[in-house]
Structure 1
Amino acid sequence: MEKRNIPIGLPSMGVEEWEACREPIESGWITQGPKVKEFETNFALRHNVKHAFAVSNCTTALHLALVASGVEAGDEVIVPAFTWVSTANAVKYCHATPIFVDINIETFNIDMEKIAEKVTSKTKAIIPVHLFGLCADVAAIKRRFPNLKIVEDGACAAGSALNDIPAGGLGDIGCFSFHPRKSVTTGEGGMLTTNDDEIAVRLDRLRNHGASISEEQRHHGPKPYILSAFEMVGYNYRMTDIQGAIGVVQLKKLDSFIDERQKWADFYKEELKDVKWLKTPEVPEGYKHGWQSYVTYVDESIAPMKRNDIMELLQQKGISTRPGTHAVHMLEVYAKMYNIKPNDYPEAFKADQFSMSIPMHNKMVKEDYEYIVQALKAI
């Protein structure tokens, strides 16, 4: 086949998103306002939760979730060793200690059987990550550790579900990302979800400097001299109304985006089944995968070449790939800070070294998928 150029990810946006920006721009209300509120309302409805709060990105969502959960200096928070660095960074923002737990290499998610040995009297929360769009088994974690706060890192998991319960409503607080590589995007942006009314009040105030009166309430109220009251130290983690307007449009497309990705996940699964050195992802019964990424595993013991060489070869053919993500315990900052060795978390180490994400996004066409399959089979 003729050489193609296929990026690892590409946002699916068009005229509707462009037009959606008109209203906030023309009205002059471009900071957090009515469009953000509409986006939050629709997101909460789609994910079957009582409250949703839009923020600047998923990292700030994680930070606020931990603060609202009472995490502070001296506390410990359980995080998987294989995840994007922000999961651990958010713990450090609270002056707490991230305690790494190895993963299950079959799902790339935190290994349930290894959490218990890391829980101590200092443990305040657990952050299960729904990596690549596959939910972690939050229900089992809650049953095992009912006294710990569960903060879902659902950066990749908009639209994902476990036993028909959407991500974001499985734990105490859910955190989502709208980065351009996610299924739906607002450029940058994040969302917090919760069913806890008290936590909801704290999240709403914390994202807006700690103010107990929102900007919208203040500007539209009958008493223009009233300023916000501040009863806590908060942060400026708000989303703009331009982003909110885009999010409203993108959210309407979420389910069709996931359905399309599921179709091509099935295609990859079938077409690559005879490529014995390449393990494709499994979806356990009861799980709805959001397919933020399609992450495979290269078995170098039988592969014709090393993973990195395969990735370079595919790049030469115009096919972009990436490692699934990184093992946080192997990053210099955490390895030095806690004197961690790569093999201290062997499954995370393997995922770091041998995972390979191949292109899957809603701008791809049939010929792209066929070209990728052909290239992999030809190696």
Structure 2
Amino acid sequence: MKINITSPSFDEQELLLLKQCLDSKWVTQGEFTQQFESLFKQRHDVQYAFATTSCTAALHMAMVALEIKPDDEVIVPAFTWVTSAHCVEYVGAKVVFVDIEPDTFNIDPAALEAAITPKTKAIVVVHLFGLAAKMQEIMEIAKKYNLAVVEDAACATGTNYDGKPVGGIGDIGCFSFHPRKVITTGEGGMVTTNNPKLAERIKILRNHGATANPNIDTSKPYYMGNFDHLGFNLRFSDIQAAIGVAQMAKLDKLLADRLACARQYDLLLSSVSELTIPQMPSQCGHSYQSYVVCLLVGGIDRRNLLMEALATEGIQSRPGTHAVHRLGYYKNKYGINSTSYPYASKSEDLSITLPIFPGMTDLDQQKVVNILKAALST
């Protein structure tokens, strides 16, 4: 039987709310979107939350809202999904990569501080695979150098750092609702902030650059609004939001199920000395959006053989994520040596994301581990 790398959790509640949305005939951004934003805002303890089309869109708007300009530099971890860096390129700024901590896969605060120059304006902090980055150290560095902090929390819905939800610790938080994430609306994202000026900019950017015209009653049929800013069409649909409302109602259970799966993997893999298992430093919570192990003995060819052994038995896996500095666009534009950022490179080459999702059975997890053990023994 096939074991997918993920399996979204849907039930009658999603169908019920979808029907309500469709029956209302209002399917663009509306009341369900407002409800979803309100639930997300409350759960993540932030003053403002704006649903949008993707986390990529959220990150792009973050750069624009922070007024990142060409010739500015933005620091990004070298091991992350590519859009953590793309958002900087979208506004013409320069990506400055820094290496990660090999035990957490998150940005190394010491490497971060060493990469700061007079041109540095912001840091993209990724809570990779759902593990909170070391925000206290990072925020101290950001304050010292007067830098904005964008939390790429694509994987980290519901993750806490030192008891506080991520996404409201830095200046702007960006979340994803892709099907592999903790909650899903098919596609979609969220921008969070506690800064009213940034919130107003994001609200304008999301809706074509529209602002209210104070001289015209908005209820009038001829009201069209003002367009004094260059914006985007990055609005959410109420169809997606209806699913999001249902997903938020079960967030705590989804997180608990993922944690239980992670603890079972920890137990099953505790005797496998050739693989590392995910670490969780003090203060750093983990949503276990992904469960990523790393091969300690052997190189990328052996890692690939392990993944092929899983695939042969119908088990999906994939590398953790990109070593972004080695991708063609960044390597060619910045002339980056492929041996730079060694921990990021090693993590891409030796990592394996194992299936993890709510409802995954102990037997499924045992099967995954048995195949890994057998393949390691050959």
Q: Would you say same fold, with TM above 0.5? A: yes
Task: Give the structure 1 partner of residue 223 of structure 2.
Answer: 226
Task: Give the structure 1 partner of residue 302 of structure 2.
Answer: 306
- Out of 140, 144, 152, the residue aligned to residue 141 of structure 2 is 144
Q: How far 1:19 moved relative to its partner?
A: 1.8
- Out of 244, 247, 266, the residue aligned to residue 250 of structure 1 is 247
Matching of residue 41 in structure 1 with residue 38 in structure 2: yes
SS of equivalent residue, structure 1 residue 342: coil
Count of residues in Structure 1 that have an aligned counterpart in Structure 2? 371
SS of equivalent residue, structure 1 residue 21: helix
Task: Give the structure 2 partner of residue 334 of structure 1.
Answer: 330
Change (3 A) 1:111 1:164: same
Distance 1:266 1:363 in 2: 14
What are the equivalent positions in structure 2 for 1:1-379 lying under 5 Å apart?
Answer: 4-146=1-143, 147-213=146-212, 221-301=218-298, 306-379=302-375
Q: Is the 8 A contact 2:257 2:359 kept in 1?
A: no
Residue segments in structure 2 that go unaligned for 5+ positions in a row? none
Q: Is the 8 A contact 2:88 2:94 kept in 1?
A: yes
Query: What are the Cα deviations for residues 162-205 of structure 1, in whole angstroms up to 9, with x where unaligned?
Result: 00110111100000000000010000000000011111111111
Deviating runs (4+, > 3 A) in structure 1?
none
Distance 2:349 2:358 in 1: 27
Q: How far 1:142 moved relative to its partner?
A: 1.4
SS of equivalent residue, structure 1 residue 115: helix
SS of equivalent residue, structure 1 residue 12: coil
Q: Is the 8 A contact 2:129 2:288 kept in 1?
A: yes
RMSD: 1.6
SS of equivalent residue, structure 2 residue 204: helix
Distance 2:131 2:175 in 1: 13
Change (3 A) 1:302 1:127: closer
Q: Is the 8 A contact 2:309 2:371 kept in 1?
A: no
Q: Is the 8 A contact 2:49 2:190 kept in 1?
A: yes
Distance 1:145 1:120 in 2: 12
Q: Is the 8 A contact 2:299 2:349 kept in 1?
A: no
SS of equivalent residue, structure 1 residue 128: strand
Q: How far 1:286 moved relative to its partner?
A: 1.8
With the length of structure 1 as denominator, give the TM-score of the two structures.
0.95
SS of equivalent residue, structure 2 residue 257: helix
With the length of structure 2 as denominator, give the TM-score of the two structures.
0.95
Distance 1:83 1:213 in 2: 38
Partner letter of residue 139 of structure 2? K
SS of equivalent residue, structure 1 residue 53: strand
Query: What are the Cα deviations for residues 23-61 of structure 1, in whole angstroms up to 9, with x where unaligned?
Result: 221222111111101000000000001110000000000
Q: How far 1:281 moved relative to its partner?
A: 0.5
